[in-house]
């Protein structure tokens, strides 16, 4: 079995995150580098960012416009319609993957059956601790148990 290459994994995450930054709106290369560092807490190499932007352009997933900032011309990168559609598909896949990873650890409301991602309301009923999504779901369940 092949050993997992952590550097490849990190660079793939970095590319995915570059796409999320572009998805938020047009930005220049340094803006991508700065946002990445601020949000992820790690530096990203311009040697990863700019070739990736170029590959996105070559595939019709991104484009660029020039904008003057003082005396300097700055390239602003953006996703095309096709690039935005790709991000939507990737985000859906990622959401499904995260869902599969976290669902087994979620509590389920004893009354309505909804999944509880955070918090919840706990009640001890007949010596058993039950979890509810809220006190409004707990109340009718408790009433039913008393009848």
CATH number, domain at 84?
A: 1.10.10.10
Tens digit of pLDDT for each residue in 34-65? 999 999 899 999 999 999 999 999 999 999 99
66 or 69: which leads in pLDDT: 66
What b/e sequence results for 98-108 when a residue is b if at least 16 CB atoms lie within 10 Å of its CB, and e otherwise?
eeeeeeeeebe
Residue-range definition of the domain harbouring residue 17: 6-103
Instruction: Quote the CA–CA distance of 120 and 130 in Å, as a whole number.
Output: 10
Coil, helix or strand at residue 122: strand
Judgement on whether residues 134 and 114 belong to the same structural domain of the protein: yes
Instruction: Quote the CA–CA distance of 43 and 37 in Å, as a whole number.
Output: 5
Residues in CB range of 43: below 8 A, 6 or more apart: 33, 37
Most confident of 23-32, 69-78, 98-107: 23-32
Instruction: Quote the CA–CA distance of 59 and 114 in Å, as a whole number.
Output: 42
CB 55 within 8 A of CB 79: no
Judgement on whether residues 30 and 15 belong to the same structural domain of the protein: yes
- DSSP 8-state assignment for residue 2: P
Judgement on whether residues 30 and 85 belong to the same structural domain of the protein: yes
Judgement on whether residues 71 and 116 belong to the same structural domain of the protein: no
pLDDT in the model for residue 38: 95
Note whether residue 1 is domain-resident: no
Q: The whole model's pTM is what?
A: 0.65
pLDDT in the model for residue 2: 47
As beta bridge partners, residue 69 has 72
The radius of gyration computed from the CA coordinates of the chain, to the nearest angstrom, equals 23
The number of domains in the chain is: 2
Judgement on whether residues 37 and 95 belong to the same structural domain of the protein: yes
Instruction: Quote the CA–CA distance of 112 and 132 in Å, as a whole number.
Output: 8
């Amino acid at each position: 079995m092949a050993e997992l290459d952590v550097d490849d994994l990190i660079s793939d995450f970095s590319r995915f995150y570059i796409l999320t930054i572009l998805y938020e709106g047009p930005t220049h290369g340094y803006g991508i580098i700065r946002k990445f560092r601020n949000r992820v807490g790690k530096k990203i190499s311009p040697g990863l960012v700019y070739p990736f932007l170029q590959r996105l352009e070559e595939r019709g997933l991104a484009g660029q416009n020039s904008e003057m900032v003082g005396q300097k011309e700055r390239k602003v990168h953006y996703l095309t319609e096709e690039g935005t559609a790709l991000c939507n598909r990737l985000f859906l896949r990622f959401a499904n993957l995260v869902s599969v990873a976290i669902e087994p650890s979620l509590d389920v409301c004893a009354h309505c059956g909804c999944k509880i991602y955070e918090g919840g309301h706990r009640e001890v009923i007949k010596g058993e601790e039950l979890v509810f999504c809220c006190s409004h779901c707990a109340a009718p369940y408790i009433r039913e148990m008393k009848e």
